[in-house]
Amino acid sequence: VQLVESGGGLVHAGGSLRLSCAASGFTFEDYAIGWFRQAPGKEREGVSCMSSSDGSIYYADSVKGRFTISSDNAKNTVYLQMNSLKREDTAAYYCAAAPTTCAEAGSTWYEVTPGYWGQGTQVTVSS
């Protein structure tokens, strides 16, 4: 099982980035898949997830209206388009897949086991 993230980097406040997560080794449609983040000294935060099985989508309040999650099931890839980035969005972003649905698990969907996490990609937003 692999979740390989890409697309992180350094961006000015107000800018945009798109994260990608290529998944392999499990049935993509059977999992909630998406992103959580962790900034230094802060707790993990579920950012967004989507579930093909029930069509549910979750966004943290802190990113609603700015971030959009999408997927290409043919490529087993999930994306996170991040617009209007703020300094407080600076964090390591992790792709995760969990055996649940976003509607069922809510903000901590990524902690449902047994699931999978990627290695993370750093997003840094400068002023």
**Which helix (H) or strand (E) element contains residue 68?**
strand 67-72
Distance CA 62, CA 42 (A): 14
Q: What is the mean pLDDT of residues 105-124?
A: 96
Q: What is the mean pLDDT of residues 10-24?
A: 97
DSSP letters along 46-74, please?
EEEEEETTT--EEE-TTTTTTEEEEEEGG
What pLDDT, on a 0 to 100 scale, did the predictor assign at position 65? 98
* Confidence bin at 29 (pLDDT 50/70/90): confident
Q: What is the mean pLDDT of residues 96-108?
A: 95
**Mean pLDDT of all residues in the chain?**
96
What's the longest Cα–Cα distance across the chain? 40
What pLDDT, on a 0 to 100 scale, did the predictor assign at position 28? 80
What pLDDT, on a 0 to 100 scale, did the predictor assign at position 44? 97
Distance CA 34, CA 68 (A): 11
Q: Are 24 and 76 in contact (CB under 8 A)?
A: yes
pLDDT digits (tens, 9 = 90+) for 45-100: 999 999 999 999 999 999 999 999 999 989 999 999 999 999 999 999 999 999 99
What pLDDT, on a 0 to 100 scale, did the predictor assign at position 27? 85
